[in-house]
Structures are given as structure tokens and as C-alpha cells.
Amino acid sequence: MNPFVKIRRELHQIPELGFQEFKTQAYLVNYLGTLMQDRFTIKKWKTGLFVKIHGRNPKKTIGYRTDIDGLPIDEETELAFSSTHPEKMHACGHDLHMSIALGVLTFFVENPIDDDLLFIFQPAEEGPGGAQPMLESETMQEWRPDLIIALHIAPEYPVGAIAIREGLLFANTSELFIDLKGKGGHAAYPHQTNDMVIAACSLVTQLQTIVSRNVDPLDSAVITIGKITGGTVQNIIAEKARLEGTIRTLSPESMEKVKRRIGNIVSGIKTSFECEASIDFGSNYYQVYNHPELTREFMKYLRNETSTNVIECKEAMTGEDFGYMLKEIPGFMFWLGVNSPFGLHHAKLTPNESAIEFAIETITKYISYKGNQ
């Protein structure tokens, strides 16, 4: 078995939520302890890591970022190496991301290039967001790379494929939580109450008008309410209701407009239903915008120097906090094909592990090319 497939399986068994990745960090540190210590320097950051590999004659620093957290999902794959943590799973492929990063890192510890390399093992990508605070950390300021690269697995593409595009790849995203409070009471006396189930239903309907009537039809936005809770039993009118959802847009300007309109509509609900209401936009992720020149160079390199199936993909409404790093540092992210019948965040996600070796080989070749220029 490929050693990095074995690592992936071991990491798959210990998924942890954002800023709780203690076992994961310990696993990574333990593995790094098996490598030549004089070739790199490690600095911990909360539950993440910075690992700097020293170049032979550095003129720049190339960054490579991987995320390390799991999701609050009860695994249903029935794999022999399934999660040992109840209701937690690496259902977004971060176990593959880490094993690939360790494979690339190991190669360059053993095969030094001219430039310095900075490997970033980032916690909390799934929330509340580790990229922005990690970007602002003292270590990042000291070791700040000149360019930065990352990948994300893509179940819909075959192994051997890399999908990428210049410019916008992933959307701007925001969580959305709305709490309503009215007056509960007996179901037989609705006139003496203020029903928040009715208010919540009206609010959901009104929120959908934002995309259809306030966003430029040539732009794109999504408002999804994925969860509504309210009330206690069938014969008591609900005093409280809570809506939980997400917002996704293709531009920062549209995100601000959507949030402003949500605020206006919620204010109207407060007035029309004579209730209290509050909005929490939770975690917000900036768009993933690939640096055009670096992306074109990467695509050209893959086509000329490798057998990679390079796919120019469309932008997606998925969110990734790597966008904060790309906002400050030139670079790009790409989709890595893993050919799974189940998609991201699915309890039965089963990526094809042969993508690990392909990714390690492809990325090491490209970084060697960039790091010896």
C-alpha cells in the first residue's frame, strides 16, 4: 500500500471539528518527527501547523495550504477504516488533502529545491474559519509566501483530472441565523398569541424574492434556508422560531446587497408580526479568486509537461476560506478528480485513493519547476 494512502486511512479515523483538531495535530507532528529535522522548521498555531522547508538558495517562498478539520456527520461508508469518532467524519476530503500535503512535503524534505516552501496545515475550514486568523498570525507575517497553492477534491471528476479556471472559482458565502420571538399560547386561542411559526413561514417566502427581484439576473446568488425550528407540541402556538441557512454570491457587492435586503425584510417581519427578531450572519468566507497569470502558467505546464486531463471548469457556489489567503497572496486553487459516486459532505463519500499518488506526483513536479526558476 502507498504510505500516503495508509496515512489517509489513519487520518480518516480521527476526524475533529474546527479548532478541536488535537489528535490530528499530534498525528501530523508525530509524522514530521520521522523526517530529517535539519531540513525544516515547525511552528504550531492553535490546532494547526506551519512547516517551513529551507531552500538551497531561496529567492522566494512558495506556499502550499491544506485544511485539516472534519464535519459533524455520522459516517455511513462501512469502510474498515471508518471514523472512530461518533457523528464526525472527513466527508469533505480533508483526510486526502492532508495525506497529499504530507506526500509533497516529504518529497521536498528529501529532495531540496532552491526556494523555501511553506506548508500550512489549517484548522477550521468548515467553520468558524481558520484561514483569516492564520493569515494574520505572527508566523504568517514572518514566513509569508510569495505565492500560494491549494486543492480540493472533486467527486464528479475522474482520477487524473484537474479542473481549474482563471478568476472566480468559488463563491462568497455567509451563514445565516434568524431568531424570532413572539407570544405563545393555547392553540384554541390564536387571537391571544403571536405565532412565530406563521412569521417564520412568511419570512422564508419573502427571503426568496431577494434573488428573483434584487439581484442582477446576469449575476448569481443563492439563499437557502436549510433548517427551521419552532414550537414545542402540536397544540401550543409557538413563541419562538429559528431559521438557519446560507447565502452564496458571485461577488462581494452582491453579498452586501443580499445582507442589506435580508435586514430590511426581517425589520418588516418585526413590524408586521409585532415580534422580536435578530440576525446572525455567522461565518463569512471570501470568494476564491485564482490569479489569472499564475493559473494560466499552471495550466500550460500541466498540458505541456504532464499527462493530466486539464479541465477548464465553471465557477461554483461552494465556499472555501482559502479565498482570504488568495485575497492577500497571489495563487490559485484547483479541483482534484477523485471519482466518488457520493458528493462532498455526504455520509457515504468514498474518494478513489489512487488520486493521492497522482496529486503528489503532479504537485511535486510543478513546485520543483517553480522553485528552481
Would you name the residues annotated as active-site residues?
A: 67, 126
Phi, psi of 366 (to 5 degrees): -70, -45
Query: Of the candidates 302, 312, 311, which has an alpha carbon nearest to the alpha carbon of residue 366?
Result: 302
| 172-181/240-249 β-pairing | antiparallel
∠ CA(76), CA(81), CA(84), 5° rounding? 70
| 116-122/61-67 β-pairing | parallel
Kindly state the DSSP code that residue 219 receives in the 8-state scheme.
S
CB 300 within 8 A of CB 166: no
| 161-164/309-312 β-pairing | parallel
Grid cell listed for 234: 402540536
Number of H helices, E strands in the chain: 10, 17
Grid cell listed for 290: 485564482
What is the residue whose three cell numbers read 505546464?
301
CB 95 within 8 A of CB 338: no
Q: Mutual orientation of helices 196-213 and 252-273 as an angle, nearest 10°?
A: 150
3-state secondary structure 313-346: CCCECCCCCHHHHHHHCCEEEEEEECCCCCCCCC
Half-sphere exposure of 155 (CA within 13 A, CB side): 14
Grid cell listed for 24: 490530528
Burial-class residue 309 by CB neighbours within 10 Å (0-12, 13-18, 19+). middle
Phi, psi of 24 (to 5 degrees): -65, -45
Phi, psi of 18 (to 5 degrees): -55, 130
